[in-house]
Amino acid sequence: MKWLIVGAYVCSLLCMHLRGRVRLPLRQQLLDQSTLMAPINVFMYLFSRMPSTPFLAARSLPELASLRDNWQSIRAEAENLRALASEGETDGNGVPPDGLPPDGLPTKRWNDFYLKWYDAIPPSARELCPRTAALLQAIPSVKLATFVELPPGASLDRHRDPYAGWLRYHLGLATPNDGACFIEVDGQRYTWRDGEAMLFDETYVHSAENGCASGRLVLLCDVERPMRLRWAQAVNHFFGRMLTAAMNLPNAAPGRTADAGVLGAVLHGIGRCRRRLRSWNLAAYRAAVIAAVAALALLLVAL
């Protein structure tokens, strides 16, 4: 039995590594968070109701139509938020007096402001972006939403996100509308345009670049992947909640990790330690990831 488990895990890793036309180097793949999530992700692929392609039709999720229909109202709130962050003076802790969080728009590279965290709308989002918050609250399948700006000259290196239970939705709000500002998913390029929506599978290798003189502002949503069976959807919902509990969203309501129970609190603590270790010493972080994977392999063999 134990060798069956080990074999299934190795097959899952190979599936993640070989999936798509563009692949990360094997060393980078093994250090990637998706390594630990590989068996869960393969389950999501097998029972998904969506096609296994890098880009998917945004219209295949009709519940998101209200966002596209109201994109100008959403853009107005996002630009107002950006203006407040630009004009506000910060205190000694980097927190603007207008109540925006330290990661509010804009900062230096990849800038975001969270609007929804699973079933919760952060108080700062309700206050500063009431129309957008109301639209998101009415869409249960949206599990995480944020305004994200990619400043001029900024880029995001090739990577794959760890969890296949979500699909990523981008709604262009204020973009350069230029081919030099783009995202590449499994080697396929998409250029953001104002008012246009796109949907992609974030577990494919992807990168982004803004080679224009103006920033790119979008509404980013992680949407729960539709599954073919009700019990599979419940499994996806469970793992999605656990993953959310491990996140640390700066402008979210305090104490939200308690909603996910003891396991959620543990995952949140692990996620916080992981981020601190990575920011302190990247080499030590990589060594810790390798040690964790090795320990998991030894545990499976010892069972």
Residue 279 is predicted with a pLDDT of 66
- Residue 107, both tokens: 């900062």
Phi, psi of 52 (to 5 degrees): -90, 70
Residue 253 is predicted with a pLDDT of 45
Spans of all domains in the chain = 2-302
Q: With 0-12 CB in 10 A as exposed, 13-18 as middle and 19+ as buried, what is 195?
A: middle
Residue 230 is predicted with a pLDDT of 96
CB-facing half-sphere around the CA of 11: CA atoms within 13 A:
8
| Residues comprising the chain, all counted | 303
- Give the whole-angstrom CA distance, residue 25 versus residue 151: 28
- Give the whole-angstrom CA distance, residue 189 versus residue 62: 24
Phi, psi of 54 (to 5 degrees): -60, -50
What CATH number was assigned to the domain covering residues 2-302? Answer: 2.60.120.330
What residues form DSSP beta bridges with 183? 190, 208
pLDDT in tens, the chain (303 residues): 666 767 777 788 788 878 889 987 766 666 566 677 888 999 999 999 999 999 999 999 999 999 999 999 999 999 998 888 776 543 333 333 333 343 444 334 456 788 998 878 888 899 999 999 999 999 999 999 999 999 999 998 888 888 999 999 999 999 999 999 999 999 999 999 999 999 999 999 999 999 999 999 999 999 999 999 999 999 999 998 887 766 655 554 444 443 444 444 554 555 566 657 666 776 776 677 667 766 766 665 666
